[in-house]
Amino acid sequence: MTEKPDSVGKVNNDVIRGAAPAGASDRDSAARAVREMFTAIAPRYDLLNHLLSVDLRCGTGDMALALRKEGQQADITGADFSHAMLVLASKKNSSRPIRWIEADALQLPFPDHSFNLVTSAFGFRNLADYDAGLGEIFRVLRPGGEYGILEFSEPEGFMGKIYNVYFKSILPRVGRLISGNSGAYSYLPASVERFPQPPEILNRMKVVGFRDVSWTPYTFGIAGLFRGKR
């Protein structure tokens, strides 16, 4: 059963309705733990992503740069709440400047109806409150604008067994060896396991106000693309 948010933009900070790193007791402490974790692994982030996963969210800017290639004339903004990630992103070349903004996805510093497209690649599940995040995205989208969430999911069957061995055993060890951070790559499989199944995310999107919602699985269901329109 999907819990309906109190209201768009209004949340209870004492309840964690999203990512829950070890030791987090409320929404604010969960968000702070995620920020500190990604800041700590920032220097090795791109190397680890190329070795361990395909991660194109704002972080170090790969998604924004990919969007720039597709839309040369578009004004593109990359937002992340880890300053260290944005420093690395700003060092990457682009044919046209990309605006990098240090911001919390639960409190975006943009006026209503600011963007035609909002994307999030393998980062949405790290939000401390999924409903509040969806509400903010809906707020900054223009009427007719689209949102795309690319996220991990847990495949079933034989592929699911292979996935679990890699994700819960191999990935944390390699990540810890390269990054020197013992918690970040143990958090990753835990965050995917905690993340709601596609039907629940689609329902949450509808509750916020998105229409024409859909989910398309990729790579045997290891990842999938959620889409919706305002």
Domain ranges of the chain: 27-229
- Asked if 135 contacts 148 with a C-beta cutoff of 8 angstroms, the reply is no
Mind listing the pLDDT tens digit for each residue in 18-31?
A: 765 566 667 787 77
Homologous superfamily of 27-229 in CATH? Vaccinia Virus protein VP39 (3.40.50.150)
- Asked if 226 contacts 198 with a C-beta cutoff of 8 angstroms, the reply is yes
- The whole-number pLDDT of residue 28 equals 80
Q: How much is the mean pLDDT over the chain?
A: 79
Task: Report the predicted TM-score, pTM, of the whole model to 2 decimal places.
Answer: 0.73
Mind listing the pLDDT tens digit for each residue in 114-141?
A: 999 999 988 899 898 999 999 999 999 9
Q: Which of 29-43, 89-103, 202-216 has the lowest mean pLDDT?
A: 29-43
Mind listing the pLDDT tens digit for each residue in 98-108?
A: 888 899 999 99
Please indicate whether residue 217 or residue 73 has the higher confidence score (pLDDT): 217
Please indicate whether residue 219 or residue 200 has the higher confidence score (pLDDT): 200
Mind listing the pLDDT tens digit for each residue in 160-185?
A: 888 888 878 887 787 777 767 666 66
